[in-house]
Structure 1
Amino acid sequence: MLSKFYGEIFAILTSVCWAISALSFEIAGKKIGSLPMNLIRMSLALIFISIFSVFYNGNIIPQGANSEQLLYLVASGLVGFVIGDMLLFHSFVLIGARLGTLMMTMVAPISAIISWFALKEKMSLWQIFAMLVTIAGIFIVIYSRNKNHKKIEAKTKKASILFLGFLLAFGGAIGQAGGLVLSKKGVLNYDAFSASHIRIITGFLGYILIISFTRLWKKVFAGLKNTSALKTVSFGSFLGPFLGMSFSLIAVKNTSTGIAATLTSLAPVIIIIPAIFINKEKVSFLEILGAFIAVIGVALFFI
């Protein structure tokens, strides 16, 4: 029974990893800045997966990918990790992380549309319905958090800045979706952890170029001296770029791209639990309602 939903289960595990790592990166990003933090997290993720690879298949660098698989996985790392994340993080600067995250609910439907044209993947009407219910729940959760924040931003920011911010966030969503579809092409008939290794190497090299271009190496070295932030990033890097991304490739390898994208987007819902019990945050009725709807949507995939 469980083997039938192998991809879906790993997609949900991905969301759990990303929810916990998101809390770590939020804390670290405030201390050392987002771009330096991203290079450090990719560096640590590369160390983790390289060590894992030595024990897993005896190689410190990924082996066995043919030229086509390598092309798709490198392109996936560039489009998703580097371009997608860079656009998203820049949108955070213009419109804030809350509003930027709201646009990321579009990753699942965009992934489904791209995979329909590029991979000839088809979803049943029931799966489309389950996807829409889940996305609606996630949207409500994020929207309820943004409600008051949006009113403040609308008064303090020009319409042109807001428009550019949303445009960048939407571009980030397209990048994430495109990266997921490309990784689907690359991971077919190839080991998911080795595929993840290639993507991480690509992301690492991409961020080195960005940091060099923006001349932020001083901030990176300063971040490395911040032991508190480094511990937090290390924990987040293990769960996010290493485990989470590897799980997401297992998911996309074993189920349709649209379903994988939907179930890996549950982090804003899952993060409510530590927000209540660890951070002692007050959760609104809308957040609880959205989480409930999202859980129903997830359950529909397994019927």
Structure 2
Amino acid sequence: MERYIGEIAALATSVCWTATAMFFENAGKRVGSIPVNVIRLGLAFLFFCVWGWASRGLPLPSDAGGHAWLWLSASGLVGFTLGDLCLFRAWVLIGARLASQVMALVPVLTALGAVVFLSEDLSVLQWSGVIAATGGVFWVVTERSSGAEGRALRPSRLGLLLAFGGAVGQAVGLVLSKHGLAGYSAFAGTHIRVIAGLAGFLILCAGARLFGPIQAALRDRRAMLHTSMGAVLGPFLGVGLSLLAVQRAPAGVAATLMALTPVWVTAAVALIRKERVSLRGWLGAVLAVAGSTLLFLAPR
């Protein structure tokens, strides 16, 4: 079991992110995406302070070196501030299922970035995975749904673009985290990312004068419940487990298991919310995950 702790952490990450997407979508539709982002990172910061004090005797990651602070802070700004700024708005505009489907492109973007910037090579089978994953996402997001009067509707283009921005932010954030951890505690590393991400949002809110909506969101009990649950499962457990997975398992295997979220979200909206998911929606989700699997598990 110890041998596969990274793979188990990656699988648990995909489950955490599934629940997180559902909770944050609900909260964002009530009070807006930026207030939810600020509140969930504030809660995550407190969770990590308590965890650090209880497990390491350090409420803050003060034992991290300059290398870790530099790269993990950059990861937090790119992944949490910029990436999640896009992703949370996408959840509101197109819902958790379609947004998570676009996020299945994270392994593809990571691999393509490695080809361009690190001069890595992909085999024919891996390029097939890139095509399959991209095709699965494209197949789902171009599907028309029926409106109230039977008219064919397409998902919001802005929502899809924002979801893609979230995928880019997460892919870059993962690469920066991998470089910044270098043997440092995965959860303490996430604490640094949360601090940087929260600082980025506070600067944004100060510049755009958005503290009023945040105060209003704090008074909405249902929104706070969903945000609190999402904060525990997302930036605390989910991201911490994702860094543990990257640390203890091959990066490709970890990314593949974490990319299962679209399948879990599709199942969740069908079983819990009783939303009708077409056969095309199911097959597209499976195709995207299968493509990611080919991409990272194919022999080099």
The TM-score normalised by the length of structure 2 is: 0.82
State the alpha-carbon separation in 2 of the partners of residues 149 and 187 from structure 1: 47
1:215 lines up with 2:212 in the alignment: no
Q: State the partner residue of 1:147.
A: 144
Structure 2 Cα separation of the partners of residues 189 and 70 of structure 1: 13
Change (3 A) 1:197 1:128: farther
Q: Which 10-residue stretch deviates more, 81-90 or 187-196?
A: 81-90
3-state SS of paired residue (1:271): helix
Aligned residues of 1:63 and 1:194 also touching (Cα < 8 A): no
Q: 1:46 to 1:124 in 2, by over 3 A?
A: farther
The sequence identity of aligned pairs, in percent, is 41
Instruction: Quote how far apart the aligned CAs of 1:33 are.
Output: 0.9
- d(CA) in 2 for partners of 1:295, 1:173: 15
Q: What is the TM-score when the length of structure 1 is the normalising length?
A: 0.81
Q: What is the letter of the counterpart of residue 55 of structure 1? A: A
C-alpha displacement at 1:252, in angstroms?
1.8
| Distance of 1:88 and 1:295 partners within structure 2 | 19
Aligned: 1:269 with 2:267: no
Alignment partner, residue 104 of structure 1 = 103
Trace 1:12-91 onto structure 2 (pairs within 5 A): 12-89=11-88
Aligned with residue 260 of structure 1, among 254, 261, 265:
254
CA RMSD across the alignment: 3.3
Q: How many residues align?
A: 292
Q: Does 1:250 align with 2:244?
A: yes
- The runs of 5 or more residues in structure 1 that have no matched partner are none
Between the aligned partners of 1:122 and 1:2, the Cα distance in structure 2 is 31
1:241 to 219, 222, 235: 235
Match of 2:166 among 168, 172, 192: 172
Q: Distance in 2 between matches of 1:223 and 1:165?
A: 22
- Gaps in structure 2 of 5+ consecutive residues: none
Deviations 1:175-219 (A, max 9, x none): 221111001101121110010110011111111111222212111
Aligned CA distance change for structure 1 residues 263 and 181 (closer, same or farther; 3 Å):
same
Q: Deviations over 1:149-195 (max 9, x none)?
A: 795358xx8xxxx4x76655544332221111001101121110010
Give 1:279's match in structure 2, choosing from 273, 281, 299: 273
Aligned-partner Cα distance in 1 for 2:227–2:169: 24
Query: How many angstroms does 1:258 deviate by?
Result: 4.4
Equivalents in 1 of 2:161, 2:266: separation in Å? 27
Q: Are the counterparts in 2 of residues 180 and 257 from structure 1 also a CA contact under 8 Å? A: no
Q: 1:122 to 1:186 in 2, by over 3 A?
A: farther
- The answer to whether structure 1 residue 289 and structure 2 residue 290 are counterparts is no
For 1:197, the equivalent position in structure 2 comes to: 191
State the Cα deviation string for residues 226-262 of structure 1 (Å, max 9, x = none): 1121111111110011000001111222344444334
* CA distance in 1 between partners of 2:153 and 2:229 (Å): 33
Residues 92, 55 of structure 1: CA spacing in aligned structure 2 closer, same or farther, 3 A cutoff? Answer: closer
Q: Which has the higher helix share?
A: 1
